[in-house]
Amino acid sequence: MKKQNHINFITVVLFFGVIATLMIYFGISALLQTESGDRLNAAIYESDRLGEIIDNLNFKLFKEVDDDNVIVGSDRFLFERTNGENGYSYLRDYRGEASFSPAELELMRQSIEERRTAYENGGAEYLLVVIPNSITVYSENMPFHYGKLSENTRLSQLSEYLSESETDCFFNATDTLISAKNKGQLYNNTENSLNALGAYTLYISLLEQIAKISGTEAIGAVPVPDFHSRLDIGKETAQKAGLQNLALNLTISMSSPPTTLYREGADYQSLGITKMSDALSELGIMLEYNDDWFRVILEPYFSNTFASVAYKQNLMFSEFANSKSAPSIVIQLIYEYELESLLDEKTALTYGAGTKSEGTLLRTPRPTILGSAHMDADSVCIFGMAEKRSELTLKTSDGRIISQSVPSGQFFIRVDIPEELDSVKVDISAKNGIKKASSPVSLMVVRDENAPTANVEIGKNSELFAAKYPIDLVSDPEELKSKICKDPYIVRLQQITEKPTEYVQVIVPSKLTVRADDAPSYLMPTVQKLSELRRAAMGLEEFGVCVIDATAALCEKDRFDMYCLTGDIPTALGAYEIYRTVAAALGFFVPEGEPSLSSSIILGGKFISALGLDPTVFSELSESCEAPSDSVELTFYGKADLAQKYRAKNKNASLPTAIIIHDEYGTEAARYLCECFGEVIVYAESDFRIDAEDLAELKPDYVIKIVGENNMLTQ
Amino acid sequence: MYLTAPAFLFIAFPLFTAIYALVPRSVKKQALAAFCPLVYMLANIYNPFSLIFLVLTVIAVYLGTKWIDMLRGRRRGIVAAVFVAVLIEIFVSLRVLSAFGISPVGYPFGASIWLLAAVSCIIDVKRGDAPPPTAVDAVLYISYFPVMLVGPIVKYRDSLELFRAPEMTLDRLARGAEYFMLGFVKIFAVTLPVFDILGSIFDNIEMGFGIFATVEFIVLINIGAYSAFSGYSDMASGVSLIWGIELPKNFARPFASASPFESLRSFMITLYDYLRDYLFLPLLGRKKGKLRRAVAFAGCFIAASFWLRSSLWMTAFAIVCSILLGAFFVRSSGGKRSRAARVLGYILTPVCAALFWSIAMMPNGMPNMSFFATVFESFGKPGSISVLGSVSAEKYIFTLLTAVFLLLISERAQKNVLTARDDIGKIISNAVLLLLFVFAVFFVFPQYPQIAGVGLEIL
């Protein structure tokens, strides 16, 4: 009985001891709470410290995390159940529960073949590479109760199907990576991505594939770098679960990266190009991917191997990218979880540009729809390519007929979805002169209530305009005049240069002014306002400013290629015309006749970006003209880009000097204007603050400001 | 106040227990009668309807029983019947209105228990089984909050003895602590993880149900339901024991039942006793024919189902089941079953119980046939869901081992082994229980803020 009492006593003491301890601990925590409300509950349920301890214990004891989407595997591996971006279920695919249907597999095969055809038409070989998920390569690290990796995953299904249908432009990297696991960890354990060692393994296997495709013998590889491993804070999957400090990442990186023998070339938003002379291979490669991590891990290897490597961060067909990089082989890298993107209609449409039909002598070729984008919830802009100077006819399923001219070969048509309908089917056919109309091409456009309103309007002749110009502030031209002229700018300027430096203001009209006939009628008041704005700007002459308005010169040349179709700024040809106007006005030599023109593909203009599209994919056909002479040498202060600050020196040093400031309307024209001067400093686009040091050092004869008419107020 | 609410666990309970220990034994009952309504008032300070409703019930019971006691003959029965009818009508109305979310005043916490208590008081006084309550008795009996969630349901005539002279002894304190920890661990270390898993199963039901998953589901839902109800019940018994009141046993061995009847008798014994005393026997009357027995049983089954969960699904299911069980009752009563039949019964009873609790978990509102169609189609699908997938294997195993351990020590408690001398098992089980309690209170408790204020709707 005594022993019994002892046990009872100890039980009671310990029980009440625990309760009393918690009472004191939570009580003090509650008292220390600064926020009002239920302090006790907050001390227990909202305590960061306690939460951290609980998360820690949960992870260590039960291998559980406070995120239903994360699976804790062995060897520090974290896996995701579902991809948050595209909804792909890693787990269902792992179990073989997310198979593709035969129809989907066939569509994928067709998509891959279409890609191959598009690139082959441009003279490049094509290879699609699929990088397996980490859950596939490290399936043994999955908790046992999820079972083994199914033999019926989407990737194995597709591999098998493509193998049976003899599609050889496909490479599944699963076996390569699995067989290389003995060399070390190939994936980051807290993110579904390859590490440096995995990237090197992939690089070596891709070299074999490239050699096979290009019919060359083995391509020399960058020597195996030294790798070292360290524990870092957890990567993306760990961060999503708030475990970055607990689930550490075994990072494998190069001890010393290979010597960079290549140089960075031009950079066009989603496209970057590197060049290397005396490369191990003279081939030009274009790597396309969605995840920019591929560039980070593959660039040290690829750029040090091939003469030219283009890195493009999307899988859409881009004539611009092809023209800039001229690849021999295009390699598209996708992760296993992105396989469904092969069925993406928007991506597939872009390949129409590479596989477009040629038509016949008697029949107009079918137009190619490259895509569509919402201008607002119930208006869609359809764009594509058709025969130059053809007329398009668009018939909607609700009986409307819309016409559009295609002077340049690229078209844009607006389709409004009636209030009572959620979607409209459109059939577009083209007809050129006496040729028969083409067969129609169809597209379904669907209302999207969440689509933002884009500042884009489509006019006649497929011209894009801004729906709103930022000139609403201009109510009174006189007010503007006083605003522009009140600054004693010129006086200060001449004090610094200690000479009668001439200040020249060049007004570049917007496309709306020059192509007003093509613009929608509701923009006419804007045209009027812009005209008033220009007149007001002429008032600057009263203050000793030389004002040159290029409007008349550009309007005289009634040509479609003076302005970008997809933007508001002049093309190279338009810029050349501005140069001639300015040179003539200032009394410099003006080249006679037409410049030497060449066709080129330029980045899509600002209206493409306004529609939410990638300008490298939705590029524009344009004509560029050569520089008038080779007597000017440019020296860039930073990146070799005309939009950046540079200095130009003419062989003829006796010419006057100048500083040119400009916005995007004057970038190209500024380059041409360099021909007129012995030495010029051209400032970066939209940088209007001239350094006093530059003025004092160069002592320019001219300071020239080249701006768009609708930008005069915003500067 | 919920026994799992921080305000109770870490403030009201330890403070009152300390004061209560110092109060002379002769006034402990009065201290409890003052403390219980006070705690209820504090807990429902933002829900005055509950408070007013409780006060009115206490007054009605106190005055009503005095009146009934004064009456004789037929009038006594009629007045008692009116009181009971009104109380039941209020109970049914509140449950139905709140089940459909249209109650303008919500559902008063504990009304399911105290309305049954009020009915018990009226009937016991009418029958002459107990004297009318004093004011203190009425207040304490109706507002004794530890039992307000799931009982044990104490009949009025039994309560007089239980509350007569509470005495705090070391043995009661120790057993109370054990019961309390047992219940707490059942709720936080078993019920909640199990219901997390079950929730995940319901969420992913379209993925298919293999045989293994079905067996797991049946086991888990039985464990979950048992540990949820017995957990709160054990905590109520534990608190009461610490305060010197020994409440009646509420759970026996529900998993060792060879038929649904046995299962019902061992699951919430006090509810079974209550319904037997106040519903089954009056419905049976003096003739005790088989048909009448079946009808009485059906009535009790429907009432119990409604008491547990007031939803359309549950009511419809209870009516169908009561007819089937009633028919079975008629056929089988009095006969002895073979060993094979009993073995089959042991297997089928958890299946029936799983079905019962599945229905109890169904959401309110109109039945959705597509749900059943999905469940039906899901069984035997090759790519079936794994119950394990919703929690880690480590947690799953820990939860099951804890459940088994708690079941074993619950059995020991029921057998009163815990009081035996020199019981090494007791030392080990108490040590493990204490560790589990610390684990549950430090580790699991802060993860479930919703439990601080959740009642039976946990299901």
Per DSSP, what are the bridge partners of residue A390? A406
d(CA B162, CA B148): 16
**How many other C-beta atoms lie within 10 A of the C-beta of residue B39?**
19
ipTM of the complex: 0.80
Q: What is the pLDDT of residue A482?
A: 60
d(CA B206, CA B220): 19
Structural tokens at position B87: 């109380």
Instruction: Name every residue whose Cβ is closer than 8 Å to that of residue B448 and which is 6 or more positions away in sequence.
Output: B188, B192
Q: How far apart, in Å, are the Cα atoms of B331 and each of B261, B319, B335, B344, B353?
A: 13, 19, 8, 18, 21
**How many other C-beta atoms lie within 10 A of the C-beta of residue A168?**
12
Of B14, B174, B175, the CB nearest to A20: B14
If you count DSSP H runs as helices and E runs as strands, how many of each does chain A have, helices first?
22, 29
CB-CB under 8 Å, A18 with B437: yes
Q: What is the pLDDT of residue A172?
A: 94
Alpha helices by DSSP H, A260-318: 293-302
Tell me: the pLDDT tens digits for B257-277?
A: 777 777 777 888 888 888 888
d(CA B400, CA B225): 14
Q: How far apart, in Å, are the Cα atoms of B69 and each of A86, B80, B128?
A: 74, 10, 8
Show residues of chain B in contact with A18, CB under 8 Å: 434, 437-438, 441
- In this model, does residue A19 exceed pLDDT 90? no
d(CA B440, CA B227): 14
d(CA B399, CA B192): 10
Q: What is the pLDDT of residue B185?
A: 92
Structural tokens at position B116: 């049954």
Show residues of chain B in contact with A145, CB under 8 Å: 386, 388-389, 393
CA B199 to chain centre: 21
Tell me: the pLDDT tens digits for B385-437?
A: 455 556 777 888 888 899 888 888 876 665 544 455 556 777 888 888 899 99
Give residue A688's pLDDT band: very low, low, confident or very high (50, 70, 90). confident
Q: What is the mean pLDDT of chain A?
A: 85
d(CA B119, CA A573): 97
**B234 near B179, Cβ under 8 Å?**
yes
Assess B394–A contact: CB distance below 8 Å, yes or no.
Answer: yes
Tell me: the pLDDT tens digits for A643-656?
A: 889 999 988 888 89
Q: What is the pLDDT of residue A702?
A: 93
CB-CB under 8 Å, A144 with B445: no
Mean pLDDT of B349-354: 81
Q: How many CA atoms lie within 13 A of A498 on its CB side?
A: 5
Assess A9–B contact: CB distance below 8 Å, yes or no.
Answer: yes
Q: What is the pLDDT of residue A198?
A: 93
Instruction: Name every residue whose Cβ is closer than 8 Å to that of residue A660 and which is 6 or more positions away in sequence.
Output: A666, A670, A673, A674, A680, A681, A682, A683, A703, A704, A705, A706
Residue type, B271: L
Give residue A508's pLDDT band: very low, low, confident or very high (50, 70, 90). very high
d(CA B61, CA B69): 12
Tell me: the pLDDT tens digits for B166-202?
A: 888 888 888 899 889 999 999 888 988 888 877 777 6
- Residue A146 distance to chain B (closest CA, Å): 7
Coil, helix or strand at residue A372: strand
Give residue A1's pLDDT band: very low, low, confident or very high (50, 70, 90). low
- In this model, does residue A193 exceed pLDDT 70? yes
Q: What is the pLDDT of residue A632?
A: 82
Q: What is the mean pLDDT of chain B?
A: 79
CB-CB under 8 Å, A23 with B6: no
Across A341-350, A451-460, B409-418, least confident range: B409-418
Tell me: the pLDDT tens digits for A143-162?
A: 877 778 888 999 999 999 99
Q: Tokens 């504990």 — which residue?
A: B110
CA B41 to chain centre: 23
Q: Tokens 């020296």 — which residue?
A: A635
> What's the 3-state SS for A553-586?
HHHHCCCHHHECCCCCCECHHHHHHHHHHHHHHH
Give residue A324's pLDDT band: very low, low, confident or very high (50, 70, 90). confident
Per DSSP, what are the bridge partners of residue A588? none
Tell me: the pLDDT tens digits for A362-403?
A: 788 888 888 889 999 889 999 988 888 899 999 999 899 999
Residues in chain A: 715
Most confident of A332-346, A582-596, B47-61: A332-346
Give the residue from A248, A216, A246 showing the smallest Cα distance to A235. Answer: A248
- In this model, does residue A203 exceed pLDDT 60? yes
Q: Tokens 């070989």 — which residue?
A: A125
Q: Is B325 left (phi over 0), alpha (psi -120 to 50) or beta?
A: alpha
Q: Tokens 């006034």 — which residue?
A: B27
DSSP annotation of A440 reads P
- Tell me the percentage of chain A whose pLDDT exceeds 90: 30
- In this model, does residue A205 exceed pLDDT 50? yes
Structural tokens at position A528: 């009027």
Mean pLDDT of A631-641: 81
Write out the H or E segment, with its range, that includes residue A379: strand A379-385
- In this model, does residue A635 exceed pLDDT 90? no
**How many other C-beta atoms lie within 10 A of the C-beta of residue B279?**
18
**A492 near A692, Cβ under 8 Å?**
no
Structural tokens at position A364: 């107009």
Of A16, A22, A143, the CB nearest to B441: A22
Q: How far apart, in Å, are the Cα atoms of A484 and each of A337, A387, A506, A530?
A: 57, 46, 14, 15
Q: What is the pLDDT of residue B207?
A: 61
Residue type, A320: F
Q: How far apart, in Å, are the Cα atoms of A668 and each of A267, A571, A573, A701?
A: 18, 8, 9, 21
Mean pLDDT of B18-45: 86
Assess A2–B contact: CB distance below 8 Å, yes or no.
Answer: no
Assess B381–A contact: CB distance below 8 Å, yes or no.
Answer: no
Mean pLDDT of B122-130: 89
Structural tokens at position A304: 């040090």
Question: Which of B212, B392, B419 is the mutation pick for testing A, counting most A CBs within 10 A?
Answer: B392
Task: Tell me whether strands A502-508 and A702-708 are parallel, antiparallel or unpaired.
Answer: parallel
- The span from the first CA to the last CA of chain A, in angstroms, equals 96
- Residue A36 distance to chain B (closest CA, Å): 16
Coil, helix or strand at residue A620: strand
**How many other C-beta atoms lie within 10 A of the C-beta of residue A494?**
17
Across A133-137, A319-323, A643-647, A702-706, least confident range: A319-323
Assess B391–A contact: CB distance below 8 Å, yes or no.
Answer: yes
Q: What is the pLDDT of residue A57?
A: 85
**A554 near A577, Cβ under 8 Å?**
yes
d(CA A569, CA A578): 12
Assess B401–A contact: CB distance below 8 Å, yes or no.
Answer: no
d(CA A597, CA A594): 8
- Tell me the percentage of chain A whose pLDDT exceeds 70: 93
Mean pLDDT of A328-351: 90
Structural tokens at position B377: 């189609």
Q: What is the pLDDT of residue A537?
A: 78
Minimum CA–CA partner of A59 in chain B: B392
Q: What is the pLDDT of residue A330?
A: 94
Q: DSSP labels for B159-206?
A: HHHHTTS----HHHHHHHHHHHHHHHHIIIIIIHHHHHHHHHHHHTGG
Residue type, A433: G
Mean pLDDT of A123-138: 93
- In this model, does residue A448 exceed pLDDT 70? yes
CB-CB under 8 Å, A1 with B10: no
Of A7, A9, A12, the CB nearest to B427: A7
d(CA A672, CA A632): 10
Coil, helix or strand at residue B425: helix
d(CA A433, CA B358): 74
Assess B395–A contact: CB distance below 8 Å, yes or no.
Answer: yes
**A337 near A153, Cβ under 8 Å?**
no
Write out the H or E segment, with its range, that includes residue A87: none
Instruction: Name every residue whose Cβ is closer than 8 Å to that of residue B332 and which is 6 or more positions away in sequence.
Output: none
d(CA B3, CA A501): 88
Give residue B367's pLDDT band: very low, low, confident or very high (50, 70, 90). very low
Q: What is the pLDDT of residue B311?
A: 74
Prediction pTM value: 0.67
Q: What is the pLDDT of residue A715?
A: 47
Minimum CA–CA partner of A8 in chain B: B174
Instruction: Name every residue whose Cβ is closer than 8 Å to that of residue B314 and which is 6 or more positions away in sequence.
Output: B305, B306, B308, B359, B360, B362
Q: DSSP labels for A170-219?
A: EEE-HHHHHHTGGGS--B-TTSSSB-HHHHHHHHHHHHHHHHHHHT-SPP
Tell me: the pLDDT tens digits for B314-334?
A: 778 888 888 877 777 666 655
Show residues of chain A in contact with B14, CB under 8 Å: 16, 19-20, 23
d(CA A550, CA A523): 21
**How many other C-beta atoms lie within 10 A of the C-beta of residue A27?**
16
Instruction: Name every residue whose Cβ is closer than 8 Å to that of residue B445 and which is 6 or more positions away in sequence.
Output: A44, B4, B188, B451
